[in-house]
Amino acid sequence: MKSIFGNLMSDAGTKRQRFASLTILIAVSLSVLAPFLNKAFHIDDPMYIWAARQIQSNPLDFYGFMVNWYQTKMPMFDVMKNPPLVSYYIALVASLFGWAETTLHLAFLLPALAAVIGTYYLAAEFCSTPLIATLAGICTPVFLLSSTSVMCDIMMMSFWVWATLLWIRSLKRGSTPGLICAALLVALSSLTKYYGMSLIPLLFLYSLAVKRNAGRWAFFLLIPVLALAAYQWLTYGLYGRGLLLDASSYALERQKLEVVQLIVKNSTGLFFTGGCFISVFFFSFLLWRKRSLVIGAVLILLFTAYYLYEFEPNGLIYNDATGLNWTFIVQCFLFSASGIGILILAASDLWQNKNADSLFLFLWVVGTFIFTSYLNWSVAGRSVLPIFPVVGILVMRRIEQKNGNHGMVKAKYVLVPLLLSLVVALSVTWADYTWADAARSTAAALSHRYKNYPGTVWFQGHWGFQYYMEKYGGKAFDINESDIARGDILVVPPDNSNKFPLHEDMLFLDVVYKVTPGTRWISTLNMSTGAGFYSSKWGPLPYAFGPVAEAEYDVFIVTGSH
């Protein structure tokens, strides 16, 4: 077994080695994702499902319906800030196999596996150990957690990775059909999630660095540009404005350019990048010399201390019982160390090699970091996902370079950081899974409790909780239209979005429905722990270790008229 793994450590050669490596990658991916196939629909999953239902009834008017997501009914095209390709995929799968959670999650294993396989072949273009490079990318919290949703992120990455691979190979071989296919995949990536369009300048700059001038290859990059222009024209005709530019303005309108905000965004971006790719921290002892590690640790400690002292994020650095919240402080240090490590890996690789490949990897990482930290409406783990193919590549390029491009580090030293990262990734994914399930089970329990109740059961909050409350007969409260009456029920969930203040004089607290979290020591979206994987509005960390309190769903009886 040891000799087999040793051979696979340098697996870019024979077909037999490649087949064995791909078998390992597929087996690992299926093994770690299979336990989450019954995950409840969560966060923005319902948005894509509702659009898919609309597509089944009216495929040419994908966002032509109303949805209550921001406290009142609005047109879907005002709410949804991603293109509809994923919803078309969901509509197709559901028309054949149904809408069950397990069915749709099984369908989304395909883009996840496509992203993994594509990453392996892409890594083979940049390093001699693509198996380990790919494992270092997929054994991370952001990849596993994103692969358990039915949102657009993993599908975008599957198109992204294969578009990049095909473009690089076709550019080297001068293959016109290959360049056309790659450009079409860029278009599909962009129509899955708008961030996919960043591949256009990225591939252009890489190609310019390789060819030294703009040749006919540049014209093929007009294919995704034309596809996006057509989408802009189509949505303008359907909804009175082009949704492509509308999504951009949504993010830009929410930006603040004050120096203080930029410092906070930069720090949060580092925490998210490092936490989502914690594998880089575990690999650090293989990447850097001891002296560099000591100097780096001191500098990062000073940076973390300055951030915490100056900005005191949400009061999280203090604990009423123990004083300083050392759990939170240590996580900030570890995540910032990992995040800075990724940026240094990209920069040092470019400094050492000064070639088109290194420039490409550097721009890929830094461009994603800039978008995530400064341009997006909030920092989110899903925004960091696009660099998952690059992280492992940079790690292995650094290890190979440190070992003189010939000597390979012992297998056991590579396995240890991979396993540590996988343990963290599975823990984070399980925490998110149980949190999603809590919303589903609570909606079912409340439906059973009030199934014979004569009044209407209203609720606040959205995400997966809204999906299941509506499934069981509840109604989303609309601040402009809902006619709430005496005797009705109003359910208010904890840690949810777009809630609004209540008129306490017209409500009586009937019961506090307490739900014990599936994991009492880790969370992915919780203000009390500083976890904000889906939005840094909840906290500066993508996930957080620390005590997680019971979730309390307040159930009120309306005693007055609205």
- Give the residue among 32, 201, 11 at the shortest CA–CA distance from 121: 11
Q: What is the pLDDT of residues 28-83, one digit of tens each?
A: 999 999 999 999 999 999 999 999 999 999 999 999 999 999 888 999 999 998 99
Which residues, 6+ apart, have CB-to-CB distance to 283 below 8 Å? 136, 395, 399, 417
- As a whole number of angstroms, the distance between CA 499 and CA 477 comes to 10
- As a whole number of angstroms, the distance between CA 310 and CA 324 comes to 15
E strand segments, 1-120: 66-68, 73-75
- As a whole number of angstroms, the distance between CA 294 and CA 433 comes to 37
Token couple for 23: 């078998």
For the ranges 118-132, 163-177, 291-305, 507-521, which has the lowest average pLDDT? 507-521
- Give the residue among 330, 42, 365, 367 at the shortest CA–CA distance from 197: 367
What rounded mean pLDDT belongs to the chain?
Answer: 87
Does 347 score more than 90 pLDDT? yes
Q: What is the pLDDT of residues 76-135, one digit of tens each?
A: 999 998 999 999 999 999 999 999 999 999 999 999 999 999 999 999 999 988 999 999
CB burial readout 222-233, b (16+ within 10 A) else e = ebbeebbeebbe
pLDDT of residue 277: 94
DSSP states along 273-300: HHHHTTHHHHHHHHHS-HHHHHHHHHHH
Q: What is the pLDDT of residues 193-233, one digit of tens each?
A: 999 999 999 999 999 999 888 888 899 999 999 999 999 99
Q: What is the pLDDT of residues 172-184, one digit of tens each?
A: 998 999 999 999 9
- As a whole number of angstroms, the distance between CA 167 and CA 164 comes to 5
- As a whole number of angstroms, the distance between CA 285 and CA 206 comes to 31
Spans of all domains in the chain: 152-252, 436-558
CB burial readout 66-83, b (16+ within 10 A) else e = ebbbebbbeebbbbbbbb
